[in-house]
Structure 1
Amino acid sequence: MDLEMDFDEHVLACVLSRALEEIEDGEATATEATGLSRAELLDILTRNFPTSLIHGFSLEEVSDPEPGVEEELLLRLLLTHARPGDPTSACFAKIIARRALRDGHLWQELNLSDRSELSRLLATHFPTLAAGNTNNMKWKKYLYHKLCEAEGFSLCTASSCRECDDFNSCFGPEDG
């Protein structure tokens, strides 16, 4: 049994479940919820899930997503650290970049059970990026920190994280 593939399928099922909720609530289309194109979604659905599930995504009625600047920056960061030549990692990069734009904790926006599942996903598909989070910063904060670092500026004015008045915002627990 391929445990990595099973975990990837679990994550996809979680994300697609959240996408279906957003579709049913009229909040987003399947492509808007996932950041994936119609073709990418159709491929994932036909390879990994029962055919009857495809109809719930109303793919015939949606257009491909149009990522904004922020999403493009996140996507580029993730792809830079993705496993080379791995289409699954590239797929997860698009999903994570899109879901990171939401307000909640990233693991919640991906509909995962807890933060450890997100940590596993990132360590598996973006190993160098995940390895850099040595102080266990919240993942969304960490991604934006890396974006700012790449642009040559800092998110905050504290001289170090330990001296920051907002330390728990970046490093505290991520409860559901």
Structure 2
Amino acid sequence: MATPCPERTREIQRIFVRLMTRAVGAGNDHAFACMIASRASGLGALPPWLGLAPEAFNALMGYHFPGVSPEVLSSLDGAAPNPAREDERTELVALLGSQRAGHTHSELWMAEVVAAGCMATDHLWQDLGLWNRRALTALMRRNFPRLAMTNAGDMKWKRFLYKQLCEREGVYLCRAPSCEECADYHVCFGPED
């Protein structure tokens, strides 16, 4: 994510601190606080309510940040999800949901939010409003550990998720016998700064 202007940085920090002050200590508190603060400040590419239904977003706020009004995101409308990509988003939610850790309902919200982030055009961590790729990797390991372990080569997350969808359908688009031999290796595996 490009460095935001100082005014935006202060706004993001103000919202982030407000959320984390009320956080319950659950594993996804930090990631959701980053996403909400970024989204409320106009950064990232998530649709309204992080891509959740308003009722689900309210439940997320009540679970992770009790006492903080869900209206923290009411100041921004943003683009609604593209209905033409609903099947794709649904498949991503199903993939993530089938691989979740199974510890908390928060993983289901995270599956919805990550799938919404996949609908945008930048690196997934940037589209989600996270502050670096390490935060996304930690989020994936915490919420979807079996799936994260499958990404042993540290492929870029969005590409990895779509590759998983293709393999589920028996579609193998790569012509190279292995990633290391592919001419597009740098596209799938390089730095994401």
Asked if these proteins are the same fold (TM beyond 0.5), I'd say yes
Contact 2:46 2:116 survives alignment (8 Å): no
Counterpart of 1:42, as a letter, is N
Correspondences of 1:50-129 after superposition (within 5 Å): 53-58=69-74, 68-84=86-102, 86-129=104-147
* Ranges in structure 2 where 5+ consecutive residues have no aligned partner: 1-23
Q: Residue 29 and residue 56 in structure 1: after superposition, are their counterparts in 2 closer, same or farther (change >3 A)?
A: farther
Cα RMSD for the two superposed structures: 2.8
Query: How far is the alpha carbon of 1:92 from its aligned partner?
Result: 0.4
Correspondences of 1:142-161 after superposition (within 5 Å): 142-161=160-179
Counterpart of 1:14, as a letter, is C
Query: How far is the alpha carbon of 1:52 from its aligned partner?
Result: 6.2
SS at match of 1:68: helix
Matched, 1:38 2:51: no
Contact 1:20 1:30 survives alignment (8 Å): no
Contact 2:27 2:142 survives alignment (8 Å): no
Query: How far is the alpha carbon of 1:11 from its aligned partner?
Result: 0.7
Aligned residues: 165
Identity, in percent, stands at: 33
Matched with 2:180 is 162
Superposed CA deviations along residues 112-150 of structure 1, whole A, max 9, x for unmatched, are 221111111111110100010111111111101100000
Contact 2:57 2:70 survives alignment (8 Å): no
Query: How far is the alpha carbon of 1:71 from its aligned partner?
Result: 0.3
Matched, 1:19 2:35: no
Query: How far is the alpha carbon of 1:9 from its aligned partner?
Result: 1.2
C-alpha distance in 2, partners of 1:28/1:87?
A: 20
Query: How far is the alpha carbon of 1:104 from its aligned partner?
Result: 0.8
SS at match of 2:28: helix
Q: Residue 111 and residue 75 in structure 1: after superposition, are their counterparts in 2 closer, same or farther (change >3 A)?
A: same
- After TM superposition, the runs of 4+ consecutive aligned structure 1 residues lying more than 4 A away are 50-53, 64-67
Query: How far is the alpha carbon of 1:16 from its aligned partner?
Result: 1.3
